[in-house]
Structure 1
Amino acid sequence: MDERLEKMNDNDFKRKRIEYLNNWPNVEPFEIEKKYYENVKTVKLLRKTIFIPFLLKNEEDAEYNTAISFIIDAIE
């Protein structure tokens, strides 16, 4: 790709990103967001949810439980 065209595309994306943030929530989603929403819709039709629980084992180890605690705090 021509370097000038690549730079123009990069600048166009940066401009759109700033406009998007300034006008949120009244914005048109980016193409990648549209693809994501479509994927979520497809998965929900197949499984009814996009989330699959991850089962944790019961463990007495203090470091394990501390790490699990940090992970849960980060998710919340």
Structure 2
Amino acid sequence: MFRYLVTTFRTPQFQMSIIDEHYAFLDRLRQQGKIELAGPFTDKSGGAYLIKAADMEEARALAFSDPVHTSQSSIVTVYEWNAK
């Protein structure tokens, strides 16, 4: 398993109503053991989460199924991260 940092930055089309779905999505990842850390930025511009995945393809598939991405409320980017 590798670690991937997922960043989410709100777009002008951001929908506040999507937040509950986003948190439910993160909770499902947590229950599956795929998420290590998650949280919003204090300036309310978005947030980030750290996921574990077999490869970049799996990491992108997970991140791009996030409701903030599928609703076009946020720009979601995935980085392979060699954190220690």
**TM-score of the superposition, structure 1-length normalised?**
0.29
Between structures 1 and 2, the one with greater strand share: 2
Greater share of helix residues, 1 or 2?
1
Larger Rg: 1
